[in-house]
Structure 1
Amino acid sequence: MKYIVLTLYILFIVCVSSLSKSINIPKDFKDIQEAIDKADLGDIIIISDGEYKKDIMINKSIELCGSGQEKTALKGSIVVQNAGPVIIESLTIRGDKGNNAHFGIYCSRAFLTIKNTKIFGYHHGIGSESSKLIIKDSFITENFQVGIQVENSLTTFIEENDINTNTGSGIRISSSENNITITGNIIRKNSIGIEIIGSSPRIRRNAIENNQVAIFSTQESNPDMGIDDDPGLNVFISNPVVIINMNRRLTIQAKGNYWGDPNGPNNSTIEGKIDYIPWLKSSPLKTQSVCQYGKLSVCWGSLKGSSMSQKSSF
């Protein structure tokens, strides 16, 4: 399914690329919203260096591209509604303690890709409802509640992001079945790393560190954290509670992960039915801490030294 979605996306971009034009802010328009309103489908709006104070509504297929996270800052919220594909990349979106904005970026019934973007200082960093969503190579930090909130997802890929220091959950997935992929992320210093409500996400190759609870799964949920022929390869480090499974009927499959100890998880750090055997006896990371890295692929080592335990499930 992932490759079908990406193929259709590429075909769309190829079709519109010959017709698209670039619009420069502030050369062509001083106001970002005016540029969006005047843009045609597929146009690229390039935002030059500087800080822009503006709430933005996107309701057509465009690309909104800054000059880099350290150069282009938007102080306001972006809403993407009934539109797609839309790309937002290479900028910082920031709120502050006095900002009443609920989300940094919010999309509804849309197809949105967020790349190389830093979002901080909102109630929720990113919110998505009934949408197709790709979040990649981004930095979601210091939001007052949830870093990334996804509800009723059509398709969601959360890949290679640093999601940290959010007061609530780093990622919250709700009312979404098996169309969520969470892979290659650093998820650290949140109250809950990944909160799963009535959903069944696939969770692979994440480094989940220093959260109060790494994974919280409600009674309606059934996440896939690793099976026999497709191990999870997630790394859990210094989380006081690693997994809470509130579903008393189902066992969470969590095979082939590293639990911060060669002997596997301590029973005091897990709650509910968890099938974690076999587990990785050593971390596939090059270091026992991932905090100094901005991207998980940088610090992922060879799996050859990370042998599996040979114990069977109980």
Structure 2
Amino acid sequence: MNLSKNVLTLFLFLCLCSAIVVKSNEALVNAGPSTLIVGSDNYKTIQEAINNASSGDTIFVRKGIYTENIVINKSITLIGEDRESTIIDGGATGNVISIKASNVTIKGFTIKKSDPSIGCGIFIERSGNIISNNSILNNYAGIQITFSSANQIYENIISANYVGIQLFYSSGNAIYRNVISSNTDGIDAYYSVGNIFYENTINNNNLGVYLSSSSNNVFYHNNFVDNKYYNAYTEQAANTWYYKGEGNYWDDYDGKDLDKDGIGNTPYVITGKNTDYYPLMGRYYTFAVHFKEDYRIAIVSNSTISNFTFKVAAESRSRIILFNASSTNGSAGFSRVVIPKALMENIHMVLVNEEEVNATLLNVSDVENAYLYIEYSGNCSIKVVYLELLDLYYQLLDEFHGLNATNNALVKEFNSLNETLHNLLKNYGELQNCLENLNSMLAALNKTLHNFLNDYGDFQKEFSDMSMSYQKEVQNFKSLTYIFAAVTAVFIMITIYLSKIAHEKQRRIIES
């Protein structure tokens, strides 16, 4: 009985351990990034949510004013509900946000009121961070990047700061599509190399860009407008002010565009070793478009571009780009529109104020985009139209022409083969005649051979008779030869004998 109780107790203990292990494993499997919410009945402050977050978590901040000085020391995503009404106020002390970790994302906030003498709206001292879609204002430095790389700063409005964006000893950062306006300095960089600045609007600052001991930075497709003292000033270190044959727009550039491609024909000299060799003749605009995937359409124009829209008309299977272009005093205007060919394979129609015009499709080396140069005067609406059905019609027409050409080639080839067959049949008749002649000759040869074989039999018989006769004659000849030899021997012996007798007689006569 006691043994049974012990066994039962051991069994229950093992089941309990198994349950604990399974539960622990389930918790481990289900662990993952979480979303923490700030505002209402959730976390009261952003810092409290950060302190309770883990790396990889997202913190969503509801609308409201949060008077805080935030320190981010883990890799998280911080998202505001609405950029204009989700406000982080630094209370004029320290930095509003200090980033002390890599791979942090901040977007959707108004960030303002750091210490006015040394504080930053966002202070970054790590790499790989993303700052986007924020309004950053009333700080000493809107964004300061120190000893960091691979950060992305894009689509922010940075205004009313002493310095909009400031870099110290930083490299490999990308700063693009920001509006940097109404600051004392728009962008300052000290001892920073290899950063890229593009598609920013830098306007109404005292100084647009200031570079000190900073080299090999790249600037292109930026708009420098109404900066009070300098659009850009750099101490003698060399930087690049263009990319792939296109530079920046400078409101004080007075060059000409004789070939009408949206790029000035003479360089814009900044200072010393810094020259924009391909200055733009108008402001650079860029617009995001989604059609099956994401695209960007760029416009360089000396007009003010507004109300940009991309439409798809399903019933006509057409795609349309629409925008307004405003010029002052009815002056001549141009817009150079860069359209991805994957979005619009061809340009079938350009309308200015609903009237079709002849726009110029520029011959450029870019195989992925079409460059369309449109001229007009005064204020106007512009439409660029791609008709997929018309493209399909032309494609089918091209295929028809191709098939027709193939058919003509096949007919020509058939006629050639037919002629070849006729010649072959003609040659076959001639060959057949030759074969008949050969057969006749072969029959004659067979007859001649038959006769020859018969004659050869008679000849062989005669030859045999002659051979036998010859053998007999040879035998007779041999016999005669033997007889002749015997007679000759007798004759010689008689002659010798008679000679000897004669000689003996003569000797006797001499002796007597």
TM-score, normalisation: structure 2: 0.46
Contact persistence 1:86–1:111 (CA under 8 A): yes
Aligned to 1:126: 143
Are the equivalent residues in 2 in contact too, given 1:209–1:237 (CA < 8 A)?
yes
Structure 2 residue ranges without an equivalent (≥5): 1-30, 91-95, 255-260, 284-298, 309-322, 326-334, 338-370, 375-512
**Distance change (3 Å), C-alpha of 1:266 and 1:184:** closer
Q: What is the correspondence of 1:13-32 to structure 2 with a 5 Å cutoff?
A: 19-26=32-39, 27-32=41-46
| 2:87–2:109 CA contact under 8 A, matched in 1 | yes
Residues 1:177 and 2:193 aligned together? yes
1:236 to partner: Cα distance? 0.9
Take 1:205 and 1:235, find their aligned partners in 2: how far apart are those partners? 7
Residues 21-56 of structure 1 deviation map (CA, whole Å, 9 limit, x = unaligned) = 100002331121111011011111110011110000
**Deviation at 1:292?**
11
Q: What letter corresponds to residue 211 of structure 2 in structure 1?
A: I
Q: Which has the higher helix share?
A: 2
Distance 1:209 1:291, change over 3 A: farther
Provide the aligned length of Structure 1 versus Structure 2: 257
Classify the secondary structure of the residue corresponding to 2:106. strand
Residue correspondence of structure 1 range 54-65 to structure 2 within 5 A:
54-65=68-79
SS of the aligned residue for 1:224 comes to coil
Q: Which residue of 2 aligns with 1:310?
A: none
Contact 2:241–2:275 under 8 Å retained in 1: no
Matched, 1:78 2:94: no
The structure whose Rg is larger is 2
Partner residue, 2:462: none
Alignment correspondent of 1:9: none
Q: What is the Cα deviation at residue 288 of structure 1?
A: 3.9
Q: Structure 1 pair 101/282, CA: closer, same or farther in 2 (3 Å)?
A: closer
Identity value in percent: 27
The yes-or-no answer on 1:149 pairing with 2:217 is no
Report the secondary structure of 2:51's partner residue. helix
Contact 2:164 2:180 (C-alpha < 8 Å) held by counterparts: yes
Larger RCO, structure (CA 8 Å, separation 6 or more): 1
Q: Could you tell me how far 1:280 is from its partner in structure 2?
A: 4.8
What are the ranges of 5 or more consecutive residues in structure 1 without an aligned counterpart? 1-17, 241-255, 307-314
- Residues 255-283 of structure 1 show CA distances to partners (whole Å, capped at 9, x for unaligned) of x995xxx674688xx54355555655566
1:158-177 equivalences in 2 (<5 Å): 158-167=175-184, 169-177=185-193
Q: Distance in 2 between matches of 1:158 and 1:286?
A: 23
- The answer to whether the 8 Å contact 2:282/2:303 transfers is no
Alpha-carbon RMSD across the aligned residues, in angstroms, is 3.1
Match runs of 1:177-216 below 5 Å:
177-178=193-194, 180-199=195-214, 200-211=216-227, 212-216=229-233
The AA in structure 2 aligned to 1:54 is E
Check 1:276–1:185 CA distance in 2 against 1; reply closer, same or farther (3 A cut).
closer
Cα offset, 1:116, TM superposition: 0.3
| Aligned residue type for 2:97 | I
> C-alpha separation between the residues in 1 aligned to 2:80 and 2:65?
11
Q: For residues 296-311 of structure 1, what are the structure 2 equivalents within 5 Å?
A: 301-302=336-337, 304-305=372-373
User: Do structure 1's residue 233 and structure 2's residue 247 form an aligned pair?
Assistant: yes
Does residue 1:43 correspond to 2:111, yes or no? no
